[in-house]
A and B are shown apart, each in its own frame.
Chain A
Amino acid sequence: MMGWLGPEEWSAVALSLKVALWATIWALGPGIFVAYALARWEFPGKQVVNGLVHLPLILPPVATGYLLLIGFGTQGVLGRWLAEIGIVFAFRWTGAALAAAVMAFPLLVRAVRLSIEAVDPKLEQAAGTLGASKLWVFGTVTLPLILPGVLAGAVLAFAKAMGEFGATITFVSNIPGQTRTLPSAIYSFLQVPGGEDAALRLVAVSVFVAMAALILSEVIARRVAKRVGGV
């Protein structure tokens, strides 16, 4: 693949994989937590939280990117404070990952929430009577049972992160080797004369990665489902 893709194209692919991977990893923990809270807890402001989680899904990505810029840019409210402790998102690959994570978050939460709602609370109750605290119940009963849903959600989040464009380019721009992810690179190639071939190659890579991710998740989910079995 190295020989087939030019160095600029290759750097975009590698960057996108890195960004998507980290975005998925960052989104996973909070995503499961929020999904659990929305599925199992009743708390004031639940609808507000639900709305906030889904906002990136319905807002124009450019708007999400701009909000991220206001929040996490060098002059941003949180960005300034985070910069003091050495965490910088603006115009770095980490910023691209953050934008991708935010955009992928609702997809992850939806998939995980659905699978948590499918877990019979009576099983969790039974685990409690056997001496398992809430945290143990989650780790030994709920989590294993929702694993297929978590995997499906993670793959969906990864695919979304790979393809994220609007929020990323607004938040961290389009700097080669730093924030020029696969979609940004395709866009850039299409802006210059003679760039169509490179763009087409990157589209092929996109298709390949997306398909590979889907098949992988299918295989893993099927294995997990077999192991988890029916009730």
Chain B
Amino acid sequence: MSLSVAVKQVTQAFALDVAFEAPRGVTVLFGASGSGKTSLVNAVAGLSRPKEARIAVEDWVLQDSKAGVWLPPHKRQLGYVFQEGRLFPHLTVRQNLAYGQWFARTRAGDISLDRVVDMLGIGALLDRRPSGLSGGEKQRVAIGRALLAKPKMILADEPLAALDEARKAEILPYFERLRDEVNIPVLYVSHSMAEVARLATTVVALEQGRVSRVGPAAEVLGDPGFTPTGVRAVGAVLEARVAQHHEDGLTELDAAGIALFLPQLAQHVGQPVRVRIAAHDVILSREEPKGLSALNIMQGHVSEVRAGAGPGAIVSVVTPAGPVLARVTRRSATALGLAEGVPVWAVVKTVSVAPQDIGGR
């Protein structure tokens, strides 16, 4: 396991009792605000010192309260990307980038300024000051600054929360590149399902200071019982590959032999992508639909129906492309006789898949 965390910290206001292990990749700490995400990531960063904890990244032990080990933040060799960037206002972008690099100069590592600048597209900003940068630019510089400190792991505490949708879409791919190209472990705090769906290798769901679910992203998100931020945010993740770009502006994906049509993607043919399909965008049909405008129709069978407290129910459908979640009314579920094993067709409109739901794998 790449990251192992066990933290117990009880204060008058809040009790945090968390233990999990995660493989290499992006581990997303997911939960509503007040669930303990930031407390946990601050414990990992050494910004707080829980009484009982063992935190390690592979064999690099950051804290082991039993052995009396506690590294101060500046000795942890982590790269922290904060929500608000926290760039140094008195330094240029270049000096900001060089800041952590200087403290890491004696450590081994092959990450160069040129590569980081190139990867994040911040070459034109180098001689500017943070005050003149947009929110998205600041976050790119903050990512670069963290990377150049040659970290053993990157911590990111809701790095997109302060950005608007367009800027979020601009920054997310850079975290995907961290995962896929730089191969550096990332501990990412988020309360956004879309971010989890695109980034997470492992999801650690927190509720009131405790771990409620841990597991691979597709598994956790495909569980109809997993609704930590409300049913509106529920949606399964399909893994696919770009098959073809069509002239009419559509991109055809191949998800385990099933063709999916999405609005034009930037990814090249052959590249893997992850698609999050929001449960409320899925229509179920007992018969093979004909004469429908929707382009994506997947045959499968119901594996689980979970009725909610309100009028809705979440139906889990197993298709050859992967698990799909559909949010329907309980009335429809009864009318269609949806139950485990019943064959259904899941219908997804091409245009209902938003760009932020699609990411590189």
Contacts and interface: CB of A to CB of B under 8 A. Distances in A.
Interface residues of A, number: 24
Please classify how large the interface on chain B is, using the bins under 10, 10 to 19, 20 to 34, 35 or more.
Answer: 20 to 34
Given A129-B45, A129-B80, A231-B131, A141 B74 contact: no
A7 interface: no
Nearest to B146: A130
Given A229-B130, A230-B131, A128 B73 contact: yes
Interface in A131-148: 131-134, 136-137, 140-141, 144-145
B22 interface: no
A126 B82 contact: yes
Given A131-B103, A230-B131, A126 B86 contact: yes
A127 B82 CA distance: 12
Interface string A105-123: 0000000000000001011
Nearest to A130: B100
Contacts of B207: none
Which has the most chain A C-beta neighbours within 10 Å: B45, B78, B90? B90
B47 interface: yes
A127 B100 CA distance: 8
Interface of A is mostly: helix
B89 A132 contact: no
Nearest to B85: A126
B99 A140 contact: yes
B361 interface: no
Given A131-B100, A131-B149, A228 B90 contact: yes
Contacts of B131: 229-231
A145 B89 contact: yes
B88 A132 contact: no
B79 interface: yes
B86 A123 contact: yes
A188 interface: no
B90 A145 contact: yes
A228 B84 contact: no
Given A140-B99, A229-B130, A230-B131, A129 B79 contact: yes
The 3 A-B residue pairs with the shortest CB-CB distance in the complex, in nearest-first order:
A131-B103, A130-B100, A126-B86
Interface of A: 120, 122-123, 125-134, 136-137, 140-141, 144-145, 227-231
Given A122-B86, A123-B88, A229-B130, 12 more contacts: A122-B82, A126-B86, A129-B79, A130-B79, A130-B80, A130-B103, A131-B149, A134-B74, A136-B74, A140-B99, A229-B90, A230-B89
26 contacts: A120-B86, A122-B82, A123-B86, A123-B88, A126-B86, A126-B88, A127-B88, A128-B74, A129-B46, A129-B73, A129-B78, A129-B155, A130-B80, A130-B100, A130-B146, A131-B75, A131-B100, A131-B149, A132-B103, A133-B72, A136-B74, A228-B89, A229-B89, A229-B90, A230-B89, A231-B131
